[in-house]
Structure 1
Amino acid sequence: MQPAPPFALRHTAQLPELLHQLGVTIALSTYQAGKVILLSAPDEERIIQLPRSFPKPMGIAEDLETDRLAIACRDEVVVLANSGELAQFYPKGPGKYDALYLPRATYHTGDLDIHDLNFGDGGTSLYAVNTRFSCLVKLDDRYSFTPVWQPRFIDKLAGEDRCHLNGMAMRNGKPAYATAFSETNMPVGWRPNVTKTGVLLDVDSGETIVGGLGMPHSPRIYDGRLYVLQTAKGEVCEVDLASGAVTVVCKIGGFVRGMSKAGDYLFVGLSKLRKNSSTFGKLAFAKEADRAGIVVIHLPTGARVGELTYASSVDEIYDVHVLAGKRRVNVLNTLTDDHKAGLSAPTATYWRKLKA
């Protein structure tokens, strides 16, 4: 058999129709492949993808007010701004895209192992989960990071990944909830019992809302309800904030990580398990976790209604983010000179010719 071409994918028949009707583009980050991939449905029959290279991309954030994206990378966070006008006259495809994000600023953070990332405070702040130092931080142009919160069981700032703090849910422009793999205060102390010691933390009170979670990721608030992924159990769950009760919305049975909502649908990232991992090899679904892609869930019923799977190139996905109201999106990185030609001012845009 011939090997599959790079980034070959297959999907359920109804998925292009769903994406097209929702009028969205799905962005996913795969640090393993070093790509942010944009998935669009130009009509109800096709899904078109656009992979862009970024160094170890992780969390993806969007600020709706200013139409910006931020992407957490290996040792930096890149901020990009959308220009519909530049998209319309993009030299390599005039009229092809309805959104074009170009890099406008970079925070040189150093290697913080940033996981989740969010704009806050009306778009004036950029919050990040600093996994290396076990804290939530703000990013600016003065420091590598400014700590704003750390779990009550972490006694000092140290680059030791003590609890594998990874997820952050926002409410009213501020971090409201966080997930970690364990309540440990030792260097990499979360590893021994990683599949059963996860916690969901209340940022304001510092208290643990629920413990005993299986590698929690991607806490998100939708319509006033809190959802979280239990990666070690392959489950999408809802958490009752008053009682701490955990209800399974959908059991996917794979390594889930990264979640975003459009309309009544959740788009959940699915990763292959690392076959040589002593930790992941113990998971109940280890033998079945042989694909990477996106699972679509109808949230009101918990039913799986679609799936996209990669046959090559993509093994591990970190984040999934819905770009609402944008049917065909392009993103330019800083690895080529293309972004330098797109010039924008508050009242005008220009495409400059690049030298051959």
Structure 2
Amino acid sequence: MTDTALTPPASAHLPRPADLEQYRRELTGYCYRMLGSSTEAEDVVQEVLLRAWQALPDFQGRSSLRTWLYRIATNRCIDHLRQRPRRALPMDLGPASTVHDRFGDPTPAHGWVEPMPDGRVVPDDADPATRAVVRETLRLALIAALQVLPPKQRAVLILREVLGWPALDVAELLDTSVPAVNSALQRARATLADRELDAGDLYTPSDDEQRRLLDRYLDAFERYDLDAFEELLHEDATQSMPPWDFWIQGRDQVRAWMEGPGAGCRGSKLRLVAANGMPAVAQWRADPEGGHSPWALHVLTIRDGEVAGIESFLETDRWFPLFDLPAEPA
């Protein structure tokens, strides 16, 4: 698509800037699924709303305001995706390491799928079923899987399967035909099926059993009771630590990490937050001189009532401000 697609359709009733702002959260979710980057998604949405605001005087309404905004957003996302390699999680790049392996050099930030705060993308005023669907389609494993799709297949899958758009509307947005949309959707589904995606159990903050599991997780970690902590882990639990491509697998490996290289986490303070429709834990590590400093944002995958994945995002100078987390624990 070219920027001629940005020429707004017209309307007898000129929208106001506030009419654009109401779409910020859902556009952020769409762009995040497309890009795999919370920071890029927010930048793109800001650009989309600015461009739309500047073009409002010419708006004529040949399609809905929402469709017009998604058209601009799709163009901008595809432009971004042409300029950089796909994002991934460490597990997508090679076999598991062990606690004895060297870390090596960190991979540049543009290489990783990034965490996204629920508050930036999950609607406050939606019914519980809608909120559950939004959370389910934001899980890290799914976001990483989407990144293997070509950009237009990715857009088709998100618009059709996640957002529920009719094939005709998607075809019009992408300047293509309904058969082409259906073909792209079939190819995208086949690609994801080949990956045998397991995103874990759906996180439900009101679920008492999940809440008890998370309370026990926080308690065991803060007390650094590794026996209690290990009991909460799935036998095949994984842990990764972007920006390094290092990752480990197995309950015993995660415990060995915490006993060895990760022992500096003893004495940490934790807070439960929400990221990617999943439970997440902000960690402040104890300073030798006293007090605590931001150390990691851990996004957790729960499976069968156990913690099956710990994605530890270590660049807290990026993630703590994004999640509105303070420099020191309360």
Task: Please state which band the TM-score falls in when normalised by the shorter chain.
Answer: under 0.3
- In our comparison, the structure showing a higher alpha carbon Rg is 2
TM-score by length of 1: 0.26
Larger strand proportion of the pair: 1
Q: Under a length normalisation based on structure 2, what TM-score does the superposition of the two structures give?
A: 0.28
Q: Give the structure with the larger helix fraction.
A: 2
